[in-house]
Amino acid sequence: MRGLFITFEGGDGSGKSTQSALLVEWLEQQGRTVVTTREPGGTELGEELREIVLHSRGHITPKSEALIYAADRAHHIATKVRPAIDCGDIVVQDRYLDSSVAYQGVARGLGAKEVRDVSLWATDGLLPDLTILLDLDESVGRDRMSSRTKYDRLEAEEREFHATVRAAYLDLAAAEPGRFLVIDATEEVPEIAANIRDRVAALLG
């Protein structure tokens, strides 16, 4: 039996880590085997690429940035995600190709279709069964992250950049309503978790 591929998307500070952990806990209580992962960084190679693309010094051109993410994605899907799904496991992942479309395709100006096409080629067309978009105004997200002393390359971008990313995410969700679950990330944590569980339970049958 094929497993499920569930991804979390959203701007910085939207609560992806919190909600992902709550969903994994619930799934495991249902007796399901869950694989948790993230992009970039879900494999050893991915951790090296994550360090390069998010934390290395010096300028990285937008195309280079997009291609590093695509390289990580190709390896990650082939070696970790697809094998887990094929075994019947549930993969819960922090970020996937929609992040690349929003951040590099739209906010970096590379073209949403172009970046999406590269990711689909890199992953042999794999799309999530469910993408949970935690929608949050970028200024609220920044306030939630105010205690951080260091930001990565994307987190450090200006407010306008993150506003563009948010708008891009909402456009993606509107274009694929069957795949996306859009949730107001200002709602209470238990309420958000319950909404997510309801949607996932429907997928599980």
> Annotated binding residue at 12?
yes
> Annotated binding residue at 80?
no
Q: Read off the DSSP letter of residue 192.
A: H
**Residue with tokens 């990650």, as numbered in its chain:** 76
> Annotated binding residue at 10?
yes
> Annotated binding residue at 178?
no
> Annotated binding residue at 56?
no
Answer left, alpha or beta for residue 184, where phi above 0 means left and psi between -120 and 50 means alpha.
beta
> Annotated binding residue at 111?
no
> Annotated binding residue at 139?
no
Q: Read off the DSSP letter of residue 179.
A: T
- The rounded distance, in Å, linking the Cα atoms of 81 and 91 is 7
Q: Read off the DSSP letter of residue 185.
A: T
> Annotated binding residue at 63?
no
Q: Read off the DSSP letter of residue 89.
A: P
- The rounded distance, in Å, linking the Cα atoms of 193 and 198 is 9
- The rounded distance, in Å, linking the Cα atoms of 145 and 163 is 16
- End-to-end distance of the chain based on CA atoms, in angstroms? 13
**Residue with tokens 């708008």, as numbered in its chain:** 167
Please report, in range form, the residues annotated as the binding site for ATP: 10-17
Annotated binding site: 10-17
